[in-house]
């Protein structure tokens, strides 16, 4: 029985793939050094805070609900998923499976947040409801651009600090 166990262990050692590159996991990495995570959080914070200031500019009033609300310009959802996908691409390569997963996730989210009720739905023309349920395409595009720019800037900062 020991020979069979030894043979199985040897077989498993030869067929189990090697661990992923050090960029995926490191004993010294924490959530605070996770570049894709930080990029996504910064993009989300920028999108949400910009809603707060846009509301002040348009309506000349401070609406603190804008800091936590969904909907509006720009889309914080699209900023977040775009920043995450682009940051993963910069970190792990745009040809890898991790980037593919992040990009597909981003595309699904971007598609779903441009929500419109079917024309035959009784509430389809209720404007406040439509604004609460989804985003206009321009809100999604601006959010995605914000996410892209955030990931690129974070990548450049990360690159400059690691070379120094």
| Number of separate domains in the chain | 1
Question: Would residue 26 count as lying in a domain?
Answer: no
Contacting residues for 163 by C-beta, under 8 A, at least 6 apart: none
**Per the domain annotation, does 7 fall within a domain?**
no
Q: How far apart are CA 39 and CA 146, in angstroms?
A: 11
Give the contacts of 82 (CB within 8 A, at least 6 positions apart).
43, 106, 110, 143, 144, 145, 146, 147, 148, 151
Evaluate whether residue 42 is within a structural domain. Answer: yes
Q: How is residue 125 written in tokens?
A: 């023309």
Q: Which residue has the tokens 């070379």?
A: 163
Query: Who wins on pLDDT, 16 or 143?
Result: 143
Alpha helices in 74-164 (DSSP H): 76-92, 97-113, 127-133, 137-163
Are 99 and 92 in contact by the 8 Å Cβ rule? The answer is yes
What's the pLDDT band for 91 if we cut at 50, 70, 90? very high
pLDDT digits (tens, 9 = 90+) for 30-56: 878 899 999 999 999 999 998 888 887
Residue 21 lies in a domain: no
Q: Is 8 within the bounds of a domain? A: no
User: Cα separation of 157 and 6, whole Å?
Assistant: 49
Q: Domain range for residue 111? A: 31-163
Q: What is the mean pLDDT of the chain?
A: 77
User: Count of residues for the chain?
Assistant: 164
What pLDDT, on the 0 to 100 scale, is given for residue 137?
81
Output the DSSP codes for 20-51. PPTTT--TT--GGG-HHHHHHHHHHHHHHHHH
| Residue 5 belongs to a domain | no
Asked whether the predicted pLDDT for residue 81 surpasses 60, the reply is yes
Does this model's pTM top 0.85? Answer: no
Range 123-141 average pLDDT: 66
In a domain, 51, yes or no: yes
Cα–Cα distances (Å) from 116 to 51, 129, 158, in that order, read 21, 10, 39
In a domain, 11, yes or no: no
């Amino acid at each position: 029985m020991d020979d069979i166990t030894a043979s199985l262990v040897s077989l498993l050692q030869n067929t189990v793939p090697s661990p992923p590159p050090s960029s995926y996991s490191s004993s010294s990495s924490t959530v605070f050094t996770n570049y894709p995570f930080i990029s996504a959080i910064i993009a989300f914070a920028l999108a949400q805070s910009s809603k707060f200031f846009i509301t002040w500019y348009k309506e000349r009033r401070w609406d603190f609900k804008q800091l936590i609300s969904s909907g509006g310009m720009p889309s914080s959802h699209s900023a977040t998923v775009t920043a995450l996908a682009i940051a993963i691409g910069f970190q792990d390569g745009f040809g890898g499976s991790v980037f593919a997963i992040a990009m597909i996730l981003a595309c699904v989210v971007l598609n779903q947040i441009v929500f419109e009720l079917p024309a035959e739905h009784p509430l389809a023309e209720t404007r406040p409801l439509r604004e609460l349920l989804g985003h206009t395409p321009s809100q999604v595009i601006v959010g995605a651009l914000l996410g892209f720019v955030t990931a690129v800037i974070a990548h450049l900062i990360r690159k400059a600090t690691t070379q120094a």
